[in-house]
A = this chain, B = another copy of it.
Amino acid sequence: MKRIALDMDQVMADLVAKFLSRFNEEYNKNYTKDDVVGKRLPELDEAAPHALYEYYGDPSFFRDLPVMPHSVEVVERLSEHYEIYIATAAMEVPPSFMAKFEWLQQFFPTIPQHHYVFCGDKSVIHADYLVDDTELQLNRFKNTGVMFAAPHNEHSAYPIRVNDWLELEKFFMTELEKYKEAETELK
């Protein structure tokens, strides 16, 4: 089985949605995802860096991030054909460790916990694919990277890109067909 490593934030979990809703409430704003297209969150507003620093220091912030649409069902279906690992740059936000662990246990109980990886630089991940929204991490990764669309990467020219989980499933099912064809040719 080929192995897929999945990033969490903005792939499995909608961090931007939670950030915007909390920020809008606290600062009396009405920002939407359109306001962070092509930008990192700290670039949204002059108060954003401070808010982000505060939220990332809160051990509960990552505990209730919204689950990305269709991610649970697609992970379950892909698990039949691929080995699924988690690869999250949690080392950038140590207070998030326990929340991220518990979030995975709650929403993705089919992924065994010995398949979770909390890291920093994803060049250390040994997998066939990495699904990530961050171009820097995709470039560090040694095998095939798949960019998951997020507002900040909308202008990226990264070669493999999917817009949502249903597109991601199609991508991996097509890959599977290629492997099967290659195997058949070898026989």
Query: Binding site of A, secondary structure by majority: helix, strand, loop or mixed?
Result: mixed
- Is residue A125 within 8 Å, beta carbon to beta carbon, of the partner chain? yes
A113 and B124 CA atoms in complex are apart in Å by 13
- Is residue A39 within 8 Å, beta carbon to beta carbon, of the partner chain? no
Q: In the complex, which range does the number of interface residues on chain A fall in? A: 20 to 34
- Is residue A5 within 8 Å, beta carbon to beta carbon, of the partner chain? yes
Nearest CB in chain B to that of A59: its residue: B98
Tell whether, in the assembled complex, residue B115 and residue A120 are in contact, meaning their CB atoms are under 8 Å apart: yes
A31 to chain B, nearest CB (A): 29
A-B contact list, 13 entries, CB within 8 Å: A5-B124, A90-B118, A91-B114, A94-B101, A97-B98, A98-B98, A115-B120, A115-B124, A117-B118, A117-B124, A119-B119, A125-B126, A126-B142
With A91-B101, A92-B114 already in contact, 16 other A-B pairs whose C-beta atoms are closer than 8 Å: A3-B124, A94-B98, A94-B113, A97-B97, A112-B120, A114-B120, A115-B120, A115-B121, A115-B124, A116-B119, A117-B124, A118-B118, A124-B125, A124-B126, A125-B126, A126-B142
What is the interface of chain A, defined by CB distance below 8 A to chain B?
3, 5, 85, 87, 89-92, 94, 97-98, 101, 112-121, 123-127, 142
